Amino acid sequence: MIRTAALLSLACLTGQVAFSQTTEPAPNIAGIWMFEAEVHPVCSFSGQARLMPGDDPDRYDCELTARQDCPSADVLYTVEQSCSASVDGDQLTVFSTIVNFLEGEPTDSYLPDHFQLVIKDASSMDGVLLGSGAYPAIWRRAEGAIS
C-alpha cells in the first residue's frame, strides 16, 4: 500500500513537472534558403528554396530551383519546382513538383526533389534529399533572408 501511494505521488509530481514546462515557439523558417546534398561523388547538387507562410502556421507554400551537375557524365540539370512544406514538431517535410527544366533536356529520369529535414534553428536544417534515393542534405539560411 505504501509502495502504491509512493508511485502515485511520483506519477503526480512527474506530471506536474511535465505540465509546467513550456515549449519554445517554433523558429521562423519562412524566407530564402540555400541547400545542397551529397548525391554522388562525381556530381554536385545544390539550389535555392523560398518558403512562404500559408494560412496554417505549420504549412508553407514554396518554390525551389535545384541544380545537378555531373561533368564527367556530361549531365547538367537546373530544374524549377513548386512545393509544399509541412512542419511536425522539429521536422520539415517538403514535397515538390517539377515545373520546368531550365537547363538540360526534360526527362522522366529526373524525379522531383523532396526533402525530410530536422529544423535545428531559424538558420539551419539537416536531413535527407529524397529522389531516386536518400541522400544527406543541408539547408542554410541565405544571408539576410528572413521573411
In this structure, what CATH number is given to the domain that contains residue 119? 2.40.128.120
How far is residue 59's CA from residue 61's CA, in Å, rounded to a whole number? 7
Report pLDDT for 142. 86
pLDDT at 43 over 90: yes
Averaged pLDDT for residues 32-46: 94
- Report the pLDDT value the prediction gives residue 46, as an integer from 0 to 100: 98
Residue 142, domain member (yes or no): yes
pLDDT at 117: 98
Question: What's the domain count of the chain?
Answer: 1
The cell 505549420 sits on which residue? 58
Domain presence at residue 11? no
C-alpha cell at 112: 522531383
Is 85 a residue whose pLDDT tops 60?
Answer: yes
Please report whether residue 20 resides in a domain: no
* pLDDT(63) > 70: yes
The secondary structure of the chain in percent helix, strand, coil, rounded to multiples of 5, reads: 15, 60, 25
> What is the model's pLDDT at position 95?
98
For residue 16, being part of any structural domain is answered with no
What's the confidence (pLDDT) of residue 144? 58
Q: CA-to-CA distance for 50 and 79, rounded, in angstroms?
A: 14
Cα–Cα dist 41/56, whole Å: 39
Q: What does DSSP assign to residue 147? A: -
Q: For residue 67, what are the domain limits? A: 31-146
Asked if residue 10 has pLDDT above 80, the reply is no
The pLDDT value recorded for residue 131 is: 85
DSSP letter (8 states) at residue 113:
-
